[in-house]
Chain A
C-alpha cells in the first residue's frame, strides 16, 4: 500500500460492503452486469459512474435486494461486514432476512424523492413510523427523535416540517426528509442512486455537503451512483467507472482524474463539466455502447477507443492492478501510453 503504514495501523480497515464477481441478468442469458467486484470501507465515499445502461443502478439494486422482476443474480457474492463481523451472502437472503438489512444496515435515497413518500401522511409521521418499526422506539420517543433527525439533515424549523405533507415541501427538502429516513436507523452503508440529479446546482451542492457531513459524523460508508463525473470529483474518495456492465477502472478519485488509465474514463473526463466558462467546442464520445448483454470476444469499449489495437479485440481483457490501489480493464492503459501514441490516436 502506498498509504502511510501508521494510518493503516491506527485505523484498521473494515470492509462495510464486499461485492465479489457479481453477475446480473435482465433476461435469459442477457448479462447486464459482469463480474463486478469492489469493497467499501467504513466512512469511505465511493462514486460509481457510467452512462445510462452501464449497469450501475442494477449493481446497487442488487446490494439493496430490490432487483426488478425478471432480473437474476446467477453468480457472485454480496456481503456486509460490519462491526459484528457477520459474513452472510445477501444474494441468498430471504424476504425476512432482508428486513433486518434494508433500512437498518443499508439505507438508500433515489432520484425522485416524492415518489418514495406517501402523499397522504405528514413527513414527520413517515419518519417516526420508520423509527418505531426499525428501531422499536415508543411513539413519543420516535417523535422527538424524528425532530432531531430533521434538524441533523439541515431542515429549518423541524417542528413545522414534521407536520407538513410531501406536497408542501420543495424537492431539496424532500430529499433531506428521505435522507433522514435513510439514516434513521444508523446504517453502515448509504446508497445514493442519482440522488442529486433532479436538483438544481445550489441544492445539489447542499445535499452533497450533507451526505459528506453524515459520513464524517456517523462513519457511514457512501456509495454514490451518478452519471456526472463532476459530482464524484467533488465528493468521493474513490471512483469506480462502469462501462457496458463491467468495471473498467477503480482508484482514488484524485489519481484517476489526474491520470485516467482507461480510455473510457479519459473520454468521460473530456466531456465532463469543468469549472470554466469560456466558449469552446463541446466534446462528445463517438459511437455507442454495445447492446445490453452483448457477448463480445474482447474489450467492450474497443470500437469507441482511440487507442484500440488488434490484441484488444482478440480475447477477454481482465481488470488488472496498476500499482497498489488502482485497477483498470485495459491492455494499453491510456495514462501509461507514451505521448506519441496518444497524439496519433487523437489526430
Chain B
C-alpha cells in the first residue's frame, strides 16, 4: 500500500479486486448478535413503458448487506435517489424486497405474510421518524394526541395510560409536556415539532428507530439538539438508531458506523470516523471533500475527485456489470466498467467491520493531481 495512511488504522490487507461473484459487502461481525441484519437485499420498483423504454423494473437497491447492534447508531449517507429512504422503508416492511433477508431480532421479516407484517409493524418494536414533521403530523391533533397515536395501534393501554406515556416521551425529548401537550403542531416551533416526531417514535419503546433526514429542515442549533437527543436515547434506552443525513460533520459527532450508498449499492461502510477521515472509496472521498465547513481542513478538493466530464444526468443503471460509480469516477479504468463490481471485504484489526467496493482502493490516491 502506497497510499498515505500514516496516522491511520486502515487495513493493510486490502484484498480488493476480487472479481469473483461476491454479491455484496458482508463485513464479518464480531461480538453480540446484531439487532437487525440485512443480507443480499434487492429492491426494485415497477416501471411503466415510455417512448424510450419498455415496461420493466427499476432496481433501487442491490446486494445490501448491513447490520446494526443494540444501542448502535448507524449513519446512512449518499446522494438523492441513491436508495437511502427505500432502504429504511424496506426495513420496516413498507417496501417488499425482491430478494434477500431482513432479520430483526431473530425474525426474518421477508418470510412474514401480509398480516404477519402488519402485526410486526403494529408491535411498535421498530419505529420510523419522518423527514417533514409538518406533513407527518395531523394539524388538528394536539401534541399529546400525536405522540400517543402509535400506542393506540399497539392497543395495550387505556386512554389515560396512553396520555401518561405520551407525556413521559415528551419529557424524554426535553419538551415540557404540561405546557406543550395541549398545543397543535402549528403552535410550536420547527425544532419542537421535530422533537414531537421523535417522542412519537419512541413512545412504544422500540428497539430500533429509523430516522429519515430528521434534521435537514432544521438550523444548526436545532440539528445538534435533535442529534444529541438520539445519542442520549441510545445510551439511556439502548435504542438502535439508523440516521439518514446529509450533514456529515454532525452525523460524525454521534454515529458509530456509516454506510455510504451510491445508486442502490453500498460502496463503503465502517466506523464513521475512519471512513470519513480516510475514505477508501473515491465516492466517499468526493462526499467528504464537498461537505461545507467553517474551517477549511479537507485535504482534498472536490475538483480533484470529480471525473473530467462528470454529468449529473440520468444514466441507465449499469446492471450487474462493473462498478456503479465508474461513470463518474476520475480513477475508473476498463476493469471498473467491465468487470463485476468487486465485493471487497476488509477486516480491520479492530472489532468493527469495514467494507469497500472499489477495484482501486489502494491506488487511486496515487493518481491525485
Contact = CB atoms under 8 A, between A and B. Distances in A.
Contacts of A285: 221
B273 A227 contact: no
A273 B291 contact: yes
B292 A277 contact: no
B290 interface: yes
Contacts of B228: 281-282, 284
Interface centre among B227, B231, B293 (most CB of A within 10 A): B293
B313 interface: yes
Interface stretch (B114-122, B136-144, B296-304): B296-304
A199 B247 CA distance: 11
A104 B364 CA distance: 46
Nearest to A208: B292
Contact of B80 (A168, A170, A267, A272): A170
Q: Which interface class (under 10, 10 to 19, 20 to 34, 35 or more) fits B?
A: 35 or more
A170 to B, nearest CB: 6
Interface string B274-290: 00110000000011111
Contacts of B190: 52
Contacts of A227: 219-220
Contacts of A170: 80-81, 312-314
B221 A277 contact: no
A294 interface: no
Given A173-B313, A273-B249, A283 B290 contact: no
B224 A156 contact: no
B55 interface: no
A268 B220 contact: yes
Given A170-B81, A281-B253, A51 B311 contact: no
A337 interface: no
Contact of A52 (B219, B225, B249, B311): B219
B309 interface: yes
Given A200-B246, A205-B302, A274 B295 contact: yes
Contacts of B276: 277
Contact of B290 (A156, A173, A205, A267): A205
A137 B2 CA distance: 57
B324 to A, nearest CB: 15
Contact of A276 (B246, B297, B309): B297
A200 B312 CA distance: 12
Interface in A165-191: 168-173
Contacts of B221: 51, 267, 271, 284-285
Interface centre among B221, B248, B272 (most CB of A within 10 A): B221
A204 B286 CA distance: 12
A205 B294 CA distance: 14
Contact of A279 (B253, B292, B295, B298): B253
B292 A231 contact: yes
A280 interface: yes
A15 interface: no
Contact of A275 (B79, B222, B286, B296): B296
Contacts, number: 142
A202 B225 contact: no
B293 A284 contact: no
A201 to B, nearest CB: 4
Contacts of B220: 227-229, 268, 271-273
Contact of A171 (B80, B189, B247, B253): B80
Given A271-B220, A273-B220, A284-B221, A278 B273 contact: yes
A51 B190 CA distance: 11
A188 B214 CA distance: 38
Contacts of A67: none
A302 interface: no
A227 B220 CA distance: 8
B249 A276 contact: yes
Interface string B237-269: 000000000111110111000000000000000
A230 B225 contact: no
A114 interface: no
A273 to B, nearest CB: 4
A269 to B, nearest CB: 6
Interface centre among B246, B249, B286 (most CB of A within 10 A): B249
Contacts of A274: 249, 293-295, 297
Nearest to A283: B224
Contacts of B298: 275
Contacts of B249: 230, 273-277
A156 B311 contact: yes
Contacts of B246: 200-201
A269 B295 CA distance: 10
Contacts of A234: 292-293, 296
Contacts of A205: 289-290, 292, 302
A272 B189 contact: no
B279 to A, nearest CB: 10
A170 B311 CA distance: 11
Contacts of A204: 290, 292
A288 B295 CA distance: 26
The 9 closest A-B pairs by CB, nearest first: A275-B293, A282-B224, A230-B292, A205-B290, A277-B276, A273-B249, A275-B297, A156-B311, A277-B252
Interface of A: 51-52, 156-157, 168-173, 199-206, 208-209, 227-231, 233-234, 257, 267-269, 271-285, 288
Given A229-B220, A273-B291, 18 more contacts: A52-B190, A199-B80, A200-B80, A201-B292, A203-B79, A227-B219, A230-B292, A234-B293, A267-B221, A273-B220, A274-B294, A274-B295, A275-B291, A275-B293, A276-B295, A277-B252, A278-B252, A282-B250
17 contacts: A157-B313, A168-B314, A170-B80, A200-B80, A202-B287, A205-B302, A230-B294, A268-B220, A271-B223, A271-B224, A273-B247, A273-B293, A275-B291, A276-B295, A282-B225, A282-B227, A288-B189
